[in-house]
Structure 1
Amino acid sequence: MMSRTDHIRLMAKYNKWMNDKLYEAAMTLPGEELIADRKAFFSSILGTLNHLAVGDTMWLKRFATHPANYSALEPVRNLPIPERLDQPLYSDVQSLSNHRRLLDQVITEWARSITDHDLDHVLRYASTKGIVADKNFFCLVMHFFNHQTHHRGQASTLFSQLGVDVGVTDLLALIPNEVTV
């Protein structure tokens, strides 16, 4: 049976795997295709990829306030806090890809450092609107990964509409087989 920490590590692996696929697809398109308004929630492919980086940065900075004081989150502590969910961190895909690789490395290392005990903590944080909330840390981590999956699904749809196949996107591809006796 997979533990909560094992599941988090699997989700971190899935996150990196899918981001690699999306950025590989993005690199095949001219810049004007990446910034074209496609009537998506964050307008364009680049806007959607930027939003994912913004959301991840915001959540990782919040997670950095956990009493476990995760050293893996140190690179994120020094990043500026995005002001808006639609804030463009980078205007070109190569710069955003470099930032994405940093975030994915941090997420992977952080996921390896989480203990089961850490997951029962109640984390206090403020939303982008300043609303303070106290939420179960494990539930917040699951939201973090679900948020990524949601918007990567939107991005993969935008690629599909342009005839770009990002390949298999199902988490199922990474879930290990269980040995039955």
Structure 2
Amino acid sequence: MSILEHIALLARYNADMNQKLYDAAAQLSQDELTADRSAFFGSLCGTMNHMLAGDTIWLKRFAAHPAAFPALQAMHDIPLPSGSLRHTFGDSVAALRPYREQLDAMILALAPQLQPGHVDGTLEYRSTQGVLFHKHFGSVLLHFFNHQTHHRGQASTLLTQAGIDIGVTDLLAWVPGA
């Protein structure tokens, strides 16, 4: 598999897993969703908000790429999260789900727009503290998906602790057969 095929696979995995996460979280009461569970972002809802904030920040950076990916044009109209990585987009699954689905649709649409020259090139961006970076774009894209997987793992643990089984989470279930 080429890196572009891996990115397309990760985009599908990401969208499917986010749907599973939101479906599982919807089984919780509002109090259970927002209960402080001593996670890094407090509650399951806090973790879900963090994932949206991180994705928004990265997608805005990707939207500034010189290739001007059509899939990310809407990101130009979406403001950066205030409060950065702890931004709150909502406090319920119903409030968060439309934005999650919007971002996942953009990610799915971005994957086929990527070309080898894009992923082999450099992405210039600023950190949330304003530090300028120049990084290999393909590696940054892999980090983007890894970050989501990391926090979905935390969310899956919080759901398990609340008595909800999210089901299979292994990427292997999405890898096509030979």
TM beyond 0.5: yes
Matched letter for residue 125 of structure 2: Y
Structure 2 SS opposite 1:85: helix
Report the equivalent of 1:155.
155
Instruction: Provide, for residues 23-72 of structure 1, a one-character-per-residue CA deviation record: whole Å limited to 9, x for no partner.
Output: 00111111111110000000000000011011001000000111110010
Matched letter for residue 9 of structure 1: A
Report the equivalent of 2:170.
170
Instruction: Report deviation, 1:118.
Output: 0.7
Q: How high is the TM-score relative to the length of structure 1?
A: 0.96
- Is the 2:13–2:174 Cα contact (8 Å) retained in structure 1? yes
Gaps of 5+ in 2: none
Q: Which moved more, 1:122-131 or 1:143-152?
A: 122-131
Measure the CA separation in 2 of the matches of 1:110 and 1:15.
13
- Which of the pair is proportionally richer in helix? 2
Matched letter for residue 120 of structure 1: D
Measure the CA separation in 2 of the matches of 1:22 and 1:112.
25
Matched letter for residue 95 of structure 1: A
Instruction: Report deviation, 1:75.
Output: 1.6
Map 1:26-105 onto structure 2 (within 5 A).
26-83=25-82, 84-105=84-105
Instruction: Report deviation, 1:130.
Output: 1.1
Instruction: Provide, for residues 65-122 of structure 1, a one-character-per-residue CA deviation record: whole Å limited to 9, x for no partner.
Output: 1111001001222111013101111122212011100000000001111111111121
Gaps of 5+ in 1: none
Instruction: Report deviation, 1:8.
Output: 0.3
CA RMSD, 1 decimal:
0.7
Measure the CA separation in 2 of the matches of 1:133 and 1:116.
21
Measure the CA separation in 2 of the matches of 1:159 and 1:86.
20
Matched letter for residue 61 of structure 1: K
Instruction: Report deviation, 1:124.
Output: 1.0
Q: Point out 4+ residue stretches in structure 1 off by more than 3 angstroms.
A: none
Matched letter for residue 32 of structure 1: D
Measure the CA separation in 2 of the matches of 1:105 and 1:77.
16
Measure the CA separation in 2 of the matches of 1:68 and 1:130.
22
Measure the CA separation in 2 of the matches of 1:151 and 1:102.
19
Matched letter for residue 164 of structure 2: V
Measure the CA separation in 1 of the matches of 2:90 and 2:114.
30
Measure the CA separation in 2 of the matches of 1:113 and 1:45.
33
